[in-house]
Amino acid sequence: MSDIDKLIDDALDAEERDLMHRIGDEPDYFTQVFGIFRGKTGWASAVLVVVQLLMFIAGVWMALRFFDAASPLEALRWGLPAATLILMALIVKMAFWPQIHIQRLSQELKRIELQVVRLRKN
C-alpha cells in the first residue's frame, strides 16, 4: 500500500473503509484480461478472441507453406496471406488493450467518487 493509500484509509470512517475494501486494490494482469469477458460486451470479446486465434493459426499454417514453396510465385501465394493474417490477428489482439484500460479507469473513478461523497459529508 502506498503512502497516499494509507492516508486515505486513515481518514475514512468504518463504513467508507468497508466500501473501499470491497472496491479493492488494482487487480492483477490476468484478472484484468479475463475481465473483458464479463459484462454486456463479454460475448463480443469472446468472438474476437476466437477469430483472432483462427487468423493466427491460419497465418502460421500459410507461413509454413511459404517456407516449403518451390517457386517464387507459389511463395507469394502463401507468404502474402500469411503475413496479412498474422498482422490482422495482432491488430485484433491489440484492440483489447483499450477495454482493459477502461476497466482500470472505471475502478479509479469509483474511488474518486467515494472521496467526493466523503468531502460532501464534511
Q: pLDDT per residue over 109-120, tens digit each?
A: 877 887 777 777
3 state SS of 70: coil
**pLDDT, tens only, 41-88:** 889 889 999 999 999 999 999 999 999 999 999 999 999 999 999 999
Q: What is the mean pLDDT of the chain?
A: 82
Report the alpha-carbon distance of residue 14 to residue 1 in Å, rounded. Answer: 18
At residue 20, does pLDDT exceed 60?
A: yes
Report the alpha-carbon distance of residue 3 to residue 21 in Å, rounded. Answer: 16
Cell, residue 46? 469472446
At residue 1, does pLDDT exceed 60?
A: no
- Per-residue pLDDT band for 98 (boundaries 50, 70, 90) equals confident
